[in-house]
Amino acid sequence: MAINETREIVIEASPEEILDVIGDLDTVTEWSPPHQSAEVLEKDKNGRPLKVKMKVKAAGITDEQVVAYTWSKNKVSWTLISSGQQRSQDASYTLTPDGDNTKVTFELSVDPVVPLPGFVLKRAIKGTVDTGTKGLRDRVLELKKGDA
């Protein structure tokens, strides 16, 4: 059974700045603790990742997975191609500009293979969504501060 979670956060940056951080998978392990490694297998003409192999650890389970990314002006989404621990995974960031800020909506749907107690699974999903919002915001602001 898939677990779905949605979270919104406001980031004091442009959609482009946020998409640049999301697309920089060479540094994802620096700001996303679940990500142990990420290797871009295929890029689009703009250099953004299209297919990525990653090792992710959540709820004490390490998973090697390959995901396919789809990029548009104010949205990036990905879907699971292969995984040892998940039947499916779909996620997206939708970015809505608001003056100097951007409202970021992160949606995640995961269907694990391994039967986990509900509270363990919910805690793992919450941690992933926290990293995907608060961790992303912290990283974007850290990079903006470095540019100032």
The structure tokens listed for 66 are 């390959």
Provide the residue range defining the domain that includes 119. 3-147
Residue 141 amino acid letter: L
**How sure is the predictor about 9, in pLDDT bands with cuts at 50, 70 and 90?**
very high
H helical segments located in 27-131: 28-31, 118-130
* Predicted structure pTM score: 0.90
* CATH code, 70: 3.30.530.20
pLDDT in tens, 57-113: 887 888 999 999 999 999 999 999 999 989 999 999 999 999 999 999 999 998 888
Give the count of domains, the chain.
Answer: 1
